[in-house]
Amino acid sequence: MLTKNKFFFQTLTFFQDNEIENKKMIVGVSSGIDSMVLIDLLKKLRPICKLKLYVSYIHHGLSNEKKITHYRNQAEKFISDFCKTENLSFLKKTAPLEQKSSEEAFRNFRHSQFKHFLKQKKADFIVLAHNENDLLETRLINLIRGCGKKGLQSMPSYDKPYLRPLLSFSRQDIEHYAKIKKINFIEDPSNKDNSYLRNWIRKEWLKKLEKKRKGSLKALARSLEALSGLKEEKLPLPITSKGIQRQFFLELNKKEQKRVLASYMRQLNLSNYGQSHMEELLKNNERKQKQFTIKLLKRNWFFSPDYITCKK
Give CB contacts under 8 A, 24+ apart, made by 195-200. 196/103, 197/141, 197/144, 198/137, 198/141
| Residue 141: CB atoms within 10 Å | 15
**Sign (positive/negative) of CA torsion 26, 29, 166, 157?**
negative
Give the mean pLDDT of 130-158: 85
Contact 28, 110 (CB under 8 A): yes
Rg over alpha carbons for the chain, rounded to the nearest Å, is 22
Dump pLDDT digits (tens) for 46-105: 998 999 999 999 998 877 788 888 999 999 999 999 999 999 999 999 887 655 567 778
- The pLDDT, as a whole number, for residue 121 is 97
Confidence bin at 36 (pLDDT 50/70/90): very high
Contact 40, 67 (CB under 8 A): no
The strand ranges marked E within 153-248 are 158-159, 162-163, 239-240, 243-245
When mean pLDDT is compared over 143-147, 171-175, 231-235, the highest value belongs to 171-175
303 beta partners: 292, 308
- Please count the helices (runs of H) and the strands (runs of E) in the chain: 13, 11
Phi, psi of 276 (to 5 degrees): -65, -35
- The pLDDT, as a whole number, for residue 7 is 83
- The pLDDT, as a whole number, for residue 155 is 83
Contact 183, 33 (CB under 8 A): yes
- The pLDDT, as a whole number, for residue 1 is 61
CA–CA separation, 302 and 72 (whole Å):
56
Domain ranges of the chain: 4-228, 239-311
CA–CA separation, 93 and 109 (whole Å):
10
Mean pLDDT is lowest, of 12-16, 47-51, 62-66, 164-168, for 62-66
Burial 193-203 (b: 16+ CB within 10 A, else e): eeeeeeeebbe
Q: What are the residues whose beta carbons fall under 8 Å from the beta carbon of 204, sequence distance 6 or more? A: 194
Give CB contacts under 8 A, 24+ apart, made by 231-239. 234/259, 237/263, 239/263, 239/264, 239/267
Contact 11, 41 (CB under 8 A): yes
Mean residue pLDDT of the chain comes to 88
Do 4-228 and 239-311 have matching folds?
no
Dump pLDDT digits (tens) for 93-134: 988 765 556 777 888 889 999 999 999 999 999 999 999 999
Q: What are the residues whose beta carbons fall under 8 Å from the beta carbon of 83, sequence distance 6 or more? A: 55, 89, 90
What kind of architecture, by CATH, is found in domain 239-311?
2-Layer Sandwich (3.30)
> Which one is predicted more confidently, 192 or 167?
167
- The pLDDT, as a whole number, for residue 3 is 67
> Which CATH class, in words, describes the domain spanning 4-228?
alpha beta
Contact 123, 24 (CB under 8 A): yes
Contact 90, 83 (CB under 8 A): yes
Length of the chain: 312
Q: What's the pTM?
A: 0.75
> Which one is predicted more confidently, 36 or 263?
36
